[in-house]
Amino acid sequence: MVQIGDKIPDESLGQMTAAGPGAIATGEIFDGKKVVLLGVPGAFTPTCSKIHLPGFVAQADALAAKGVDTIACVSVNDAFVMDAWGQDQGVGDRVLMLADGSGKFAKALGLELDLMDAGLGVRNQRYSMVVDNGVVTHLNVEPGKGCGVSSAESMLDQL
């Protein structure tokens, strides 16, 4: 599993653009910036939609005031789903919605969650992290169900 001090792996993630689904390299997201990245098990799922993502949307200005350049949300979903979820949640330009459709990024981080027995495939664990110029400086992985250590409020307390 990724640890504090590790560099974010070079991967390609999906995002919706004006021209449709497109790819974005992790270097473009993280290099030269301070980024809060939240990983969620699935778009439109209860805890992700009621607590985790909305908390970061609500705290976007407070996080920016603490030096955060970008808030990004990644899930093992496709770019269409992440775009629709972002619209549903009213993220606007406050959160960059990223798709890890095949789960390669989750696996590269060692933060994948096997939900095969529940019929959900391999997903992200629930987490939040701060990535400063491509290096992980804070890492909060939920130990179980719920959204406590990876919440926006917890992140604000750490910064």
Q: Catalytic residue numbers? A: 48
Q: Measured between alpha carbons, how far apart are the two ends of the chain, in Å?
A: 22
Query: For residue 23, what are the β-bridge partners?
Result: 14
Q: Give strand ranges (E) for 11-146.
A: 12-17, 20-25, 34-40, 70-75, 96-99, 112-115, 121-124, 127-132, 135-141
